[in-house]
Amino acid sequence: MEENAKLTEQQGDSAHPIGGKGNLYTKDEYVEESRDSLVARLKAGNRAAAAELVDLYYEQIYLFMRRLGHSCQVSEDLTQECFLQAWYHISGLRGGKTLNGWLYRIASNISKLYWRRSKGKDVVGIIETEVPDNSEAGIEKVRHHEELDQLKNAVEQLPMKLRQTVVLHYMQHLSISEAAEAAGIREGTLKSRLSRALKHLRKQIGPENREL
């Protein structure tokens, strides 16, 4: 599952022709309209829209759970619970612009609840990287993977609140406003946590890799 994980809406920057000549949408406009349509169908109780939501976001939410330190099995269970809760609370979704933050907020709350109920359980590491071959290109990839592993290890050592903000913004690619909504905090608080997290990471990863 992890090998096939893809972030949704990673399309080209070119305009999308919608509705014939002279009616071109930019990528952002196209995505926003698609989300608005999806949200409208979800709030109308459309089961096909619910299946579409799962198709679009399942891998994202699963990876989010893994990056928060949950095991594979627990991440699968929590991801399924996230979509069940999303369907149950669909009336709270305001519109397409809030879809990302709203869904990740549900996922964040489910994760927090799990940790409260499972005190004493170990947090697992951020998804392991695959070791490439021994070719020259492979060796370079190894170095790259080692740097990534070093960064991942540093992220894993962060307090959970700081780790969550890093995962939301830098790994799940949510905007500041979306990440703040997902974490249930103000944008200023999220920025403050990101700043503190980056200071921690710079201390951990060494001067040669301090490009954060």
Residue-wise pLDDT tens digits, 159-170:
999 999 999 999
Say if residue 108 is in the same domain as residue 205: no
Q: Does 154 lie in the same domain as 188?
A: yes
| Boundary of a domain, candidates 106, 127, 148 | 127
210 Cβ neighbours under 8 A, 6+ residues apart: 202
Domain final residue, candidates 93, 127, 161: 127
Range of the domain at 55: 1-127
| Total residue count of the chain as it appears in this document | 212
Most confident listed range (21-35, 85-99, 153-167): 153-167
pLDDT in tens, 31-41: 677 888 888 89
β pairing state of 16-17 and 24-25: antiparallel
CATH number, domain with residue 200: 1.10.10.10
In 3D space, the residue among 11, 21, 12 whose CA is nearest the CA of residue 56 turns out to be 11
Q: Which helix (H) or strand (E) holds 25?
A: strand 24-25
d(CA 39, CA 103): 12
- My answer on whether 134 and 118 are in the same domain is no
Q: What is the pLDDT of residues 49-87, one digit of tens each?
A: 999 999 999 999 999 999 998 999 999 999 999 999 999
Q: What is the mean pLDDT of residues 143-159?
A: 70
User: Mean pLDDT across the chain, nearest whole number?
Assistant: 76
The CATH number linked to 123 is 1.10.1740.10
| β-pair partners for 25 | 16
pLDDT confidence band for 27 (50 / 70 / 90): low
